[in-house]
């Protein structure tokens, strides 16, 4: 079956929609009056979707303020206000993926092991090549032999070239060769995989700074994107990871993976509210085509309708 983008998103968010939207509709369609008890129950529903207490409180403040201003007067109006408010929150600071005109766009991908980082790189590669872009991969996660092997396998599956060294090689040396190859082969995008975990934030920062310096030696202003892959099924822990990485490495965007496997996709609102880094892509399945460019209006529509 071929899904439209919205249909695919609806299918991927089924678990969250059933828990959050289903719960809200049952709550607001019971003939109850708009009172403090109902608002308390509403806040609880937001928390079950893993928005987090800070974000849920912020949303509830908006709801209560709008109610006092008589922007809605019944549960149906409250529901519509909630959808508009959440879409507005996700829309903030949304920017498209960088694209260097007539040159190589470098995307540095970071993330903890197990978040779906390598698979997300493969999906992003498939998405870009399906749009007619020429992509080169750089296997700079040399600390794990399995990471290089996995990325090499995905390069074959997606039909792109990869620059790799032996296990344990200097990641910056791989980055150097990859940048040189990207320029020589006139690719559109160079996607650089990085170590999933280093022992301290200081080590992580130094490693990524070294890779960035090497890349800039061949490609001005690189990297143009630093994307963090987060596992949506980890809920509030994803927010903690995003905050930690953003302190060490200035992030330009997020890839939220495994959204189809969780009833807690509401974490996306907490991430936006507490980290202020835009979600650029969302993963909705295991297949290489299961990565979508993020659209705030479509996301909220798929979550609530």
Residue closest to 194 by CA, chosen among 217, 180, 215, 219: 215
Q: What percent of the chain has pLDDT over 90?
A: 47
pLDDT tens for each residue of 248-272: 888 999 999 998 888 778 888 888 8
Mark which of 61, 91, 121 sits at the end of a domain.
Answer: 91
11 within domain boundaries:
yes
115 within domain boundaries:
yes
- Across the chain, mean pLDDT equals 89
97 within domain boundaries:
no
Q: Is the pTM of this model over 0.85?
A: yes
pLDDT at 2 over 60: no
Q: Are residues 119 and 250 in the same domain?
A: yes
pLDDT tens for each residue of 201-215: 788 888 989 999 999
pLDDT score of 24: 81
Mark which of 91, 125, 148 sits at the end of a domain.
Answer: 91
pLDDT band for position 103 (cuts 50, 70, 90): very high
Q: Count how many domains the chain has.
A: 2
Parent domain of 27: 5-91
pLDDT at 47 over 50: yes
Q: Are residues 75 and 132 in the same domain?
A: no
Q: Are residues 237 and 140 in the same domain?
A: yes
18 within domain boundaries:
yes
99 within domain boundaries:
no
Q: Are residues 116 and 258 in the same domain?
A: yes
Q: What is the 3-state secondary structure (H, E, C) of the chain?
A: CCCCHHHHHHHHCHHHHHHHHHHHHHHHCCCCCCCHHHHHHHHHHHHHCCCCHHHHHHHHHHHHHHHHCCCCCCHHHHHHHHHHHHHHHHHCCCCCCCCCCCCCEEEEEECCCCCCHHHHHHHHHHHHHHCCCCEEEEECCCCCHHHHHHHHHHHHHHCCEEECCCCCCCHHHHHHHHHHHHHHCCCCEEEEECCCCCCCHHHHHHHHHHHHHHHHHHCCCCCCEEEEEEEHHHCHHHHHHHHHHHHHCCCCEEEEECHHHCCCCCHHHHHHHHHCCCEEEEECCCCCCCEEECCHHHHHHHHHC
Q: Are residues 112 and 196 in the same domain?
A: yes
Q: Are residues 153 and 283 in the same domain?
A: yes
pLDDT tens for each residue of 24-42: 888 877 667 778 888 888 8
Distance of alpha carbon 6 from alpha carbon 256, whole angstroms: 17
Q: Are residues 70 and 11 in the same domain?
A: yes
What is the domain-level CATH number for residue 175? Answer: 3.40.50.300
Q: Are residues 79 and 123 in the same domain?
A: no
Distance of alpha carbon 74 from alpha carbon 272, whole angstroms: 28
pLDDT tens for each residue of 171-206: 999 999 999 999 999 999 999 999 887 667 788 888
Q: Are residues 12 and 56 in the same domain?
A: yes
What is the domain-level CATH number for residue 63? Answer: 1.20.120.140
| Other residues' Cβ atoms within 10 Å of the Cβ of residue 170 | 15
172 within domain boundaries:
yes
300 within domain boundaries:
no
100 within domain boundaries:
no
């Amino acid at each position: 079956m071929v899904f439209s983008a919205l249909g695919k998103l609806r299918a991927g968010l089924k678990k969250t929609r059933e828990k959050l939207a289903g719960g809200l509709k049952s709550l607001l369609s019971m003939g109850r009056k708009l009172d403090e008890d109902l608002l308390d129950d509403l806040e609880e529903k937001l928390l079950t979707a893993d928005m987090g207490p800070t974000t849920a409180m912020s949303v509830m403040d908006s709801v209560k303020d709008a109610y006092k201003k008589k922007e809605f007067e019944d549960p149906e109006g409250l529901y519509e206000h909630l959808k508009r408010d959440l879409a507005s929150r996700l829309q903030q600071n949304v920017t498209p993926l960088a694209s260097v005109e007539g040159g190589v766009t470098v995307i540095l991908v970071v993330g903890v092991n197990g978040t779906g980082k390598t698979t997300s790189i493969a999906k992003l590669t498939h998405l870009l090549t399906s749009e007619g872009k020429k992509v080169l991969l750089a296997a700079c996660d040399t600390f794990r032999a399995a990471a290089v092997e996995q990325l090499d396998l995905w390069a074959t599956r997606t039909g792109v070239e990869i620059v790799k060294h032996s296990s344990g090689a200097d990641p910056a040396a791989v980055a150097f060769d990859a940048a040189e190859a990207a320029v020589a082969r006139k690719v559109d995008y160079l996607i650089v995989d990085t170590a999933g975990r280093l022992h301290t934030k200081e080590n992580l920062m130094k490693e990524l700074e070294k890779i960035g310096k090497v890349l800039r030696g061949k490609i001005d202003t690189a990297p143009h994107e630093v994307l963090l892959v987060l596992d949506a099924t980890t809920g509030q822990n994803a927010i903690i990871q995003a905050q930690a990485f953003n302190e060490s490495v200035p992030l330009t965007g997020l890839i939220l993976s495994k959204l189809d496997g969780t009833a807690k996709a509401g974490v996306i609102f907490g991430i936006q509210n507490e980290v202020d880094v835009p979600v650029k892509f969302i993963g909705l399945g295991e297949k290489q085509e299961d990565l979508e460019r993020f659209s705030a209006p479509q996301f909220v529509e798929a979550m609530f309708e």
